[in-house]
Amino acid sequence: MHTDDVQILYRPYTSEADLPDIMALVQSELSEPYVIFTYRYFLNSWSHLAYIAHTNKSPKPIGVIVSKQEIHKSGTNRGYIAMLSVSKQWRKRGIASQLVRLTIHAMQLNGGEEVTLETEYDNIPALSLYASLGFVREKRLYRFYMSGKDAFRLVLPLAPVPGARPLPQPVVPPEIDYEDFDSDDEYSDSQREEGGHLGGGAGDFVMPGALPMAGI
């Protein structure tokens, strides 16, 4: 329903009550669904970086961004955009850009020094969006996705902001050990061929860096 009295609003993710709608929104862009633990990994650990777009008529999400932030092995305080999706009928209204700005600002408040993400090398809408926000192409990742398609890793350096807080420690759900998961690790061709850049087969946990981010 697109009428003049409809306003787009933004709110932080607060509880799993939003999880079914978030999953439906993100998975509408995927050829293979993610297991629920993928979403819980990010949303339970970095809920303060997740934002939802909705209208003044309904709290139902029409857009969502899910991110994480950690001290990288290089020592950099790095944010990572894992999922970004906007419902098709609400695109071309600046929603994706605003969601990215919100998660980046939250990262800066926690001392973030840079933000990274991956997107398909030929995803022109996504590449254009991130270029407009200042992201640059860091490297091309060959056969990065389960489909065998290449990706670009994009990076955005962040300026420090006054009053930045110490980085919170993530609260990782106990049922899965994520200690060794790092979207920046390099993987062999054989691992990619097995089903994604973590080497997982279909139905296994796959870090959402493999999300094509088409839904923007």
Query: Across-strand partners of 207?
Result: none
- pLDDT of 34 reads 82
- pLDDT of 141 reads 96
CA distance 15 to 93: 26
Check residues 212 and 195 and name the one with the higher pLDDT.
212
Task: Write down the mean pLDDT value for the chain.
Answer: 81
| 66 — pLDDT class (breaks 50, 70, 90) | very high
Q: How does pLDDT run across 121-169, given as a tens digit for each residue?
A: 999 999 999 999 999 999 999 999 888 899 999 999 999 888 888 887 7
Give the pair of three-digit tokens for residue 15.
């509880």
Q: Which has the closest alpha carbon to 65: 91, 44, 83?
A: 83
Report whether 146 contacts 191 (CB < 8 A). no
Amino acid in the structure at residue 178: Y
Helix (H), strand (E), coil (C) string for 102-158: HHHHHHHHCCCCEEEEEEECCCHHHHHHHHHCCCEEEEEECCCCCCCCCEEEEEEEC
Give the pair of three-digit tokens for residue 128.
């254009």
Q: How does pLDDT run across 90-132, given as a tens digit for each residue?
A: 999 999 999 999 999 999 999 999 999 999 999 999 999 999 9
**pTM, to two decimals:** 0.79
Mean pLDDT confidence for 19-40? 86
* Statement: residue 54 has pLDDT above 90: yes
- pLDDT of 7 reads 94
Angle at which helices 19-27 and 36-45 pack, to 10 degrees? 120
Report whether 42 contacts 100 (CB < 8 A). no
Q: Which has the closest alpha carbon to 147: 178, 120, 108?
A: 120
DSSP conformational letter for 178? -
- pLDDT of 184 reads 52
Query: Across-strand partners of 119?
Result: 152
Query: Across-strand partners of 19?
Result: none
Report whether 53 contacts 61 (CB < 8 A). yes
